[in-house]
Amino acid sequence: MDNVFESMPDRIFRADLRVILLGVAALALASFLPAPAQAAGAGDNIRCETEHVTLDTAFPSGNVASCSLSGSKRIEVRLAPEDKPPINCSAWYAFRLTPRTPGKVTLILNYEACGHRYWPKTSTDGVNWDYLPKKFVKVEEIDGLKRARVTVKLKNVPLFVSAQEILPPSVYRAWLGRITKSPAAESWLLGKSAEGRDIPALTIRKSGTEPLEQVVLLGRQHPPEVTGALAMLSFVETLLADTPLAERFRERFETIVVPMLNPDGVVRGHWRHSTGHIDLNRDWGPFTQPETRLMKGLLDGIEKEPNKNLRLFVDFHSTIYDVFYTIPDSYETRPPLFLRNWLGLLEQHLPGYQINRDAGHNLGQPNSKNYVHKRYGVPTMTYEMGDETDRQKVRKIAKAAATTMMETLMETEAPR
């Protein structure tokens, strides 16, 4: 983890972060300003007030375990996962600071489990995000207790402080509304989460056609994994582009996208799990959760249909660095050796970018990659972007990955 922070650039990526989200929605968090007296229906509304500032979490993805005051300009924030450890150390946090007087405020982020992972980002509107400069963040360990000391300068407006850019369901709704202006895209409801939230889906194909081959893309099983989510948005937009390749691809292939499988976890600011206390990406096989059962239903539906042929499954995530987890080339797939060919071509498209492929990761686990290959015999991949990978680079890789996926699929033999 130290290496990740060492490699954090000093400069602020304001422009990069803004470009991605501006196209998506300007409504993300703006409607939650200023701080409401009531919780927004997410997790518990945590609230701490000093004479200078109020901290609260009453907005989608807002979450800290608790807070307490240790001075008029200093707030202790306790961070804890939604379920007891062992849990993946994706220590999410998101809170809002509403100033009464402008000036500096210090937040001490105290980690009950794991430790500091996400570099703090700030925003006044939920659309424009800045990295906090290095000098305002100090990661430390005192007597075995892990914490981060974060200083922010408040002006006259509320400020969101968050582990990553916040991409709640409203952002997906706005994005789906925008991209379905294309006649090649149609959004629909896959089903409901455990808490009754919509789980949207999107079908991409040439309007009026019934392609015989299917690609399934999945996102946001793990709520904090925002760079994977950003990659998916760019990836999907590339499939919808007005390029000759994408047009040919949409004629032959139908792509079904489920961009956010765990909306409850996203809204509640979970580190990892669904509200069923389960890591959804360890539930492919048991299928104990309504969210994973919806995916099984979707994939089984494709399999049962004589005029449909699943060809590829890609699941978007984030971890501390960029990596593509695939099944090994020795596993038989239809089409054969697709992942080797795809990632080989991708490397050619991205000069200077070393493709990090790991074909041996967690092969025994009941995750989506293993299950979908084993059950349906198709190539499967977990597409992981680094937590702090430059957002322009995330977009560039996604665009190249989508382009080369289309090229490689178009080279495969069509069903007769």
Task: Return the residues of window 30-49 that contact Zn ion according to CB under 5 A.
Answer: none
Site for Zn ion in 75-104 (CB under 5 A): none
Size of the site for Zn ion (CB under 5 A): 3
Contact present, 111 and 147 (Cβ < 8 Å):
yes
In this structure, what token pair is assigned to residue 408? 């490689």
What are the angstrom distances between the C-alpha of 145 and each of 140, 348, 397?
8, 45, 37
Q: Smallest distance from the beta carbon of 76 to Zn ion, in angstroms?
A: 29
Spatial contact of 405 and 341, defined as CB atoms under 8 Å apart? no
Which listed range, 124-132, 222-230, 283-291, 368-376, lies at the site for Zn ion (CB under 5 A)? Answer: 222-230
d(CA 326, CA 383): 9
CB nearer Zn ion, residue 121 or residue 317: 317
**Candidate ranges 60-68, 191-199, 215-223, 245-253; the one touching Zn ion (CB under 5 A):** 215-223
> Could you tell me which stretch among 30-38, 133-141, 255-263, 315-323 binds Zn ion (CB under 5 A)?
315-323
- Whichever of 58 and 226 has its CB closer to Zn ion, that residue is 226
CB atoms within 10 A of CB 183: 9
Residue 11 makes CB contacts below 8 A (sequence gap 6+) with none
Query: Whose Cβ is closer to Zn ion: residue 146's or residue 282's?
Result: 282
Distance separating alpha carbons of residues 269 and 263, to the nearest angstrom: 10
In the complex, what is the shortest distance from the CB of residue 336 to Zn ion, in angstroms, rounded to a whole number?
A: 27
Q: Candidates 117-125, 219-227, 253-261, 321-329 — which segment interacts with Zn ion by CB under 5 A?
A: 219-227
Contact region with Zn ion (CB under 5 A), list: 67-75, 251-259, 272-280, 316-324 = 316-324
| For Zn ion, the closer CB: 205 or 222 | 222
Instruction: By CB under 5 A, tell whether 399 contacts Zn ion.
Output: no
Give the residue, chosen from 222, 311, 373, 395, that forms a contact with Zn ion under the rule CB under 5 A. Answer: 222
Q: Which of these, 354, 21, 365, 22, lies nearest to 165 by C-alpha position?
A: 21
In this chain, which stretch among 6-14, 46-54, 217-225, 234-242 interacts with Zn ion, using CB under 5 A? 217-225
CA gyration radius for the chain?
Answer: 21
Q: In the complex, what is the shortest distance from the CB of residue 175 to Zn ion, in angstroms, rounded to a whole number?
A: 20
Stretch of 211-219, 220-228, 235-243, 286-294 lying at the interface with Zn ion (CB under 5 A): 220-228
Q: Of 274, 319, 293, 260, nearest to 371 (Cα)?
A: 293
241, two tokens: 């582009």
Q: How far is the CB of 222 from Zn ion (least distance, A)?
A: 4
Cβ atoms within 10 Å, residue 217: 23
**Binding segment for Zn ion among 28-36, 70-78, 313-321, 342-350 (CB under 5 A)?**
313-321
The answer to whether residues 58 and 39 touch, using CB atoms and an 8 Å cutoff, is yes
Task: Output the smallest distance, CB 367 to Zn ion, in A.
Answer: 9
Smaller CB separation from Zn ion, 52 or 317: 317
Nearer residue to Zn ion within complex by CB, 213 or 315: 315
In Å, what is the CA distance from 214 to each residue of 189, 233, 238, 387? 18, 19, 17, 30
3-state DSSP assignment of residue 311: strand
391 binds Zn ion (CB under 5 A): no
Gap between the Cα atoms of 256 and 253, Å rounded = 10
Mark residues 368-387: x for contact with Zn ion by CB under 5 A, - for none: --------------------
Residue closer to Zn ion by CB (options 206, 220) is 220
The minimum distance between CB 164 and Zn ion, in angstroms, equals: 13
SS3 content of the chain, % helix, strand, coil (to 5): 30, 25, 45
Please identify which residue in the block is written with the tokens 């000098």.
Answer: 135
Query: Length of the chain in residues, anyone?
Result: 416
Per CB under 5 A, the list member of 146, 317, 369, 399 interacting with Zn ion is 317
Work out how close the CB of 262 gets to Zn ion at its nearest, in angstroms, rounded to a whole number: 10
Least Å distance, CB 221 to Zn ion, is: 6
Q: How far is the CB of 276 from Zn ion (least distance, A)?
A: 17
Counts for the chain of helices (H) and strands (E), in that order:
10, 19
- The DSSP bridge partners found for residue 212 are none
**174 φ, ψ to 5°?**
-65, -40
- Nearer to Zn ion by Cβ, of 211 and 228: the residue is 228
Taking CA atoms, 40 is separated from 45, 59, 172, 268, 393, in Å, by: 8, 6, 18, 10, 34
Residues lying near Zn ion in the complex (CB under 5 A) are found at 222, 225, 317
